Amino acid sequence: MKLHMGRKAILALIGLMIWAVPALAIPEIQLYVEGATYDASTETWVTNSNNFRLWVMGDVSAKGTILDLHIAAAYLTGEVGTISLTPTTASLLTDPSISQAAVLNPLVGADGTQPIMDDGSALPSHGIYGAGVSFKQYDIGDFTLTDSPIGDFSGATAFPSSFPDQGQINAYDVSITGYSLVHFDAFNHLAAKNKVMSLKAPFSHDAEGTPNVPEPASLLLLGLGMGGSALVGLRRKSAKNAVRS
């Protein structure tokens, strides 16, 4: 009898432990680059091409409409170049809706500043923003659709194998000239229970273009402070640890 009760108690404890473990949630906003490589050290989708397809994904089915979404594209202030984003559709998943045009906001992005979310808070620097770095900000509108499958694009197993949620994908054909590194973030907010809640793509779900950077230029970037992917990753890790603490 005591043994039987002991087994029941153990089973009940196991069940309680399983129930207490929260399910891993898919981020409300994510970035992905078709054909890119996931750099585990920087937790970023990285491509070395000047031309690539960038996805901005919103998990609308999780918490509802994501409002006034923005893309920030950070680059070294001393460099001169162009960044174009042409609306298209994702080619690797169902994406029946053409993306909204990305409209440049010319009033933000000065050297040393950080993007500001609509609740008034600054996007954490996460080793990207600061002195010597400027950014271009593009407005891409509200995310309201649930016509595309959404999975977790953390990169732990490369392209996701499951897509449990539904949401919206805005895909853009990106063309970069003149810049040796462009780092992309997506952010803004949703309105929940009469409150504005800021949202951002987790820094483990962002994207970067490092088009054709020769080794001497990479060494120069390291000296300037933003650096190649390795230094950016070290700075991002330190910043993330500070934010989490």
Beta strands in the chain (DSSP E): 29-33, 37-39, 44-47, 51-58, 66-76, 82-88, 103-105, 133-143, 148-150, 165-177, 182-192, 195-200, 206-209
**Phi and psi at residue 110, to the nearest 5°:** -65, 160
Over residues 119-154, the pLDDT tens digits come to 788 999 998 999 999 999 999 999 999 999 999 988
Over residues 16-41, the pLDDT tens digits come to 443 443 445 888 899 999 989 888 88
Q: Share the mean pLDDT of the chain.
A: 78
Q: In whole angstroms, give the CA distance from residue 20 to residue 17.
A: 5
pTM: 0.77
Is residue 116 predicted with pLDDT exceeding 50? yes
Over residues 44-54, the pLDDT tens digits come to 899 999 999 99
Residue 218: pLDDT band with limits 50, 70, 90:
very low
Is residue 55 predicted with pLDDT exceeding 90? yes
CB 69 within 8 A of CB 186: yes
